Amino acid sequence: MVRRRTVWSKFRKISSDDSFLHGLHIFEGFISRVLSVAMVIVIFAALFDLGVVLFEGLFADPVGRLTTSLTQVFGLFLNVLIALELLENITAYLKKQVVQVELVIVTSLIAVSRKIIILDLEKTAGLNLIALGTTILALSISYWLIRRANRDVD
């Protein structure tokens, strides 16, 4: 009977709110670190892909001329930039334990910009263009509001 009480009291102590939240904090930190390592691997893969495309484009016949379309090269550059921004989001979370909305919106703006840069206007419906425009407008207003709120706080 005494053994059951000690087991039960240990269980209640472990399952207390503070212990549970501490365990969640450790779990979040671990997952954030795993995501950071995975993002570094993605960045290296994107850089390698960009390097291959540039190398093939510059050294294919005719030599010295970029045979790959510039939109594809710009898209690859922006892929690397988006991956770096995502890594910055994860790093900021690890430092402050808070998702920084401003960084998330900037990353979203870059991703939508990438979409527009590589967009083939001949194959895109007008409704999709309106949706992209609305998305950019909403993200821009959100970014402006957050910057303004952060400026007022500082």
pLDDT digits (tens, 9 = 90+) for 61-102: 666 566 567 777 888 888 888 898 888 888 888 777 777 788
Which of the four pLDDT bands, split at 50, 70 and 90, describes residue 37?
very high
35/60: higher pLDDT: 35
pLDDT of residue 4: 67
The pLDDT of residue 137 is above 90: yes
> Which one-letter DSSP state was computed for residue 68?
S
Which of the four pLDDT bands, split at 50, 70 and 90, describes residue 48?
very high
Q: How high does pLDDT run on average in the chain?
A: 82
pLDDT of residue 144: 92
Phi, psi at 97, each rounded to 5°:
60, 30
Ranges assigned E (strand) in the chain: none
> Which one-letter DSSP state was computed for residue 63?
T
Q: Return the CA Rg of the chain.
A: 24
Residue type, 96: K
State the burial class of residue 76 (Cβ atoms within 10 Å of its Cβ: 0-12, 13-18, 19+): buried
pLDDT digits (tens, 9 = 90+) for 6-31: 777 777 777 677 777 888 888 888 88
117/65: higher pLDDT: 117
The pLDDT of residue 126 is above 80: yes
pLDDT of residue 67: 59
Rounded to whole angstroms, the Cα distance separating 26 from 154 reads 31
CB half-sphere exposure, 63, CA atoms < 13 A = 0
Confirm if 150 and 102 have CB atoms less than 8 A apart: yes
Closest by CA to 102, choosing from 53, 34, 153, 31, is 153
Rounded to whole angstroms, the Cα distance separating 53 from 47 reads 10
pLDDT of residue 3: 67
